[in-house]
């Protein structure tokens, strides 16, 4: 397929009248449109206004999608214990499937082609199967909770790790490596030391398996960890093996100098979730400091009950604006930097090579947006538009591994009406006050 339009190959490379040529799952050429058409005359042609690398959601909870709007105006620990954990505990396998499908539908419709997805304790295979069916690229994991957790979610340590290993064997690397596994403790508060150390052992036992957890999102959380372990949260996670290049820590809002040194020295990935951090009043992650230290920072929407949208373009805008006002510095986190966070940095965090840029020899994960719309007029600077004005609704085309997931604004890999209808049915039955 030959895709033509203004090609944003990466944050530094914009080709105004460009093209991307795809063969199989790989990009074979990126360049001037007429040159590409001459070189690849037999390819099916599809025109978009703007072509960009598919965005990477560096931290999401697809299975929380039925909880959009159930827990506004609460802070993290109450939000979890009163609303989100009871919701997760109450979902049947079919409900979990409906939630995951709604989440992936929203991600695909709004321009995300890869996600790091923190699932729930039970029925994780429903999300794996939905991700496979829809063709999204994903690093997914069943959640581990073996202490201080509500009935319905609390598991025995060994049983939780054994179930994780079963899922690793079943799903890690399937579909030509498009689906990969992350061992996923909920957070240090709800996991024993044995569970956290077991997560590291499991990740080490299988090549390419990573670890994904929440860390230092909220002050109450880090106080709870410090009361129990005598250590700051990142130091505790480091002690039990949950730092390193194969670890993605969501949030890292409340970290001190020593903890930041650990994150940098170990090459740990951090996912910045500005909307979630603002809405739950968690705080402002020290992202500029992380970037200065060379820490890889991805961007994440977190889940529908704390955001309440999975739109990556809105998240780029929030990411930049929050840092600008925090530092009272209008130059903080410019468009190029947030675009990199939402694309190539996210792919690096998720452990996918040759993803996150439109490059010859890289994976054909491509999104097309329309810009013949009022919000995009005039289009002086396409990077500025993507970071500050674009919206997920502008996405018209999506491709992962060379497979077209959405074209002309229509999702081809799923029945969107049926997914929304099932989601409404299960949401109506859901017990959110258990
Ligand atoms: Zn989260």
CA angle 53, 6, 373 (to 5 degrees): 100
Q: Which domains, and CATH codes, for the chain?
A: 2-54+354-411 (2.30.40.10), 55-350 (3.20.20.140)
For ligand 1, the distance from its centroid to the CA atom of residue 185, given in whole angstroms, is 11
Residues 60-106 have pLDDT tens digits of: 999 999 999 999 999 998 999 999 999 999 999 999 999 999 999 99
For ligand 1, the distance from its centroid to the CA atom of residue 410, given in whole angstroms, is 29
| 97 vs 120: CA distance, rounded Å | 11
- Residue 380: is it exposed, middle or buried by C-beta count within 10 angstroms (0-12/13-18/19+)? exposed
For ligand 1, the distance from its centroid to the CA atom of residue 381, given in whole angstroms, is 33
Is a pLDDT exceeding 90 seen at residue 324?
yes
User: Which residue has 């995951």 as its token pair?
Assistant: 100
For ligand 1, the distance from its centroid to the CA atom of residue 133, given in whole angstroms, is 24
Residue 295, phi-psi category: left (phi > 0), alpha (psi -120 to 50), beta (remainder): beta
For ligand 1, the distance from its centroid to the CA atom of residue 12, given in whole angstroms, is 30
Is residue 182 within 8 Å of 142, Cβ to Cβ?
Answer: no
CA dihedral 161, 163, 169, 173 (to 10 degrees): -80
Is a pLDDT exceeding 50 seen at residue 427?
yes
Q: How confident is the model at residue 434 (pLDDT cuts 50, 70, 90)?
A: very low
Structure tokens at 65: 């999608």
The pLDDT value recorded for residue 429 is 87
For ligand 1, the distance from its centroid to the CA atom of residue 306, given in whole angstroms, is 9
Residues 381-392 have pLDDT tens digits of: 999 999 999 999
For ligand 1, the distance from its centroid to the CA atom of residue 20, given in whole angstroms, is 34
For ligand 1, the distance from its centroid to the CA atom of residue 26, given in whole angstroms, is 32
The pLDDT value recorded for residue 430 is 81
Name the pTM for this structure. 0.97
β-strand pairing of 366-369 with 45-53: antiparallel
For ligand 1, the distance from its centroid to the CA atom of residue 4, given in whole angstroms, is 36
For ligand 1, the distance from its centroid to the CA atom of residue 302, given in whole angstroms, is 5
CA distances from 214 to 191, 217, 317 (A): 12, 7, 23
């Amino acid at each position: 397929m030959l895709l033509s339009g203004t090609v944003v190959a990466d944050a530094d490379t914009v080709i105004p009248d460009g093209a991307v040529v795809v063969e199989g799952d790989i990009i074979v050429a990126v360049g001037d449109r007429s040159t590409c058409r001459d070189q690849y005359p037999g390819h099916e042609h599809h025109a978009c206004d703007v072509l960009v690398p598919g965005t990477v959601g560096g931290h999401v909870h697809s299975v929380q999608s039925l909880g959009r709007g159930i827990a506004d105006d609460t802070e993290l620990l109450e939000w979890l214990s009163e609303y989100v954990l009871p919701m997760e505990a109450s979902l049947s396998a079919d409900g979990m499937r409906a939630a995951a499908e709604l989440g992936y539908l929203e991600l695909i419709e709004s321009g995300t082609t890869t996600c790091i997805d923190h699932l729930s304790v039970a029925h994780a295979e429903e999300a794996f199967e939905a991700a496979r069916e829809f063709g999204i690229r994903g690093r997914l994991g069943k959640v581990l909770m073996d202490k201080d957790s509500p009935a319905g979610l609390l598991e025995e340590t060994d049983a939780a790790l054994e179930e994780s290993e079963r899922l690793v064997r079943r799903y890690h690397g399937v579909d030509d490596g498009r689906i990969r596994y992350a061992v996923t403790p909920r957070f240090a508060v709800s996991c024993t030391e044995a569970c956290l150390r077991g997560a590291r052992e499991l990740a080490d036992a299988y090549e390419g398996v990573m670890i994904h957890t929440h860390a230092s999102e909220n002050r109450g959380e880090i106080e709870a960890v410090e009361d129990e372990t005598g250590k700051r949260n990142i130091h505790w996670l480091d002690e039990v093996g949950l730092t390193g290049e194969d670890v993605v820590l969501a949030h890292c809002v409340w970290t001190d100098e020593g903890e930041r040194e650990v994150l940098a020295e170990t090459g740990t990935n951090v996912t910045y979730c500005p909307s979630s951090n603002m809405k739950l009043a968690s705080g402002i992650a020290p992202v500029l400091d992380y970037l200065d230290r060379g820490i890889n920072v991805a961007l994440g929407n977190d889940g529908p009950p704390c955001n309440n949208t999975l739109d990556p373009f809105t998240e780029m805008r929030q990411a930049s604006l929050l840092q600008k006002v925090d530092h009272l510095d209008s130059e903080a986190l410019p468009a190029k930097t947030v675009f990199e966070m939402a694309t190539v940095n996210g792919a690096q965090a998720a452990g996918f090579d040759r993803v996150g840029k439109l490059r010859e020899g890289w994976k054909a994960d491509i999104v097309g947006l329309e810009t013949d719309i009022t919000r995009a007029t005039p289009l002086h600077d396409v990077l500025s538009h993507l970071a500050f004005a674009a919206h997920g609704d502008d996405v018209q085309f999506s491709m992962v591994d060379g497979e077209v997931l959405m074209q002309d604004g229509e999702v081809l890999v799923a029945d969107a009406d049926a997914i929304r209808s099932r989601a409404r049915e299960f949401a109506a039955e859901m017990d959110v006050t258990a």
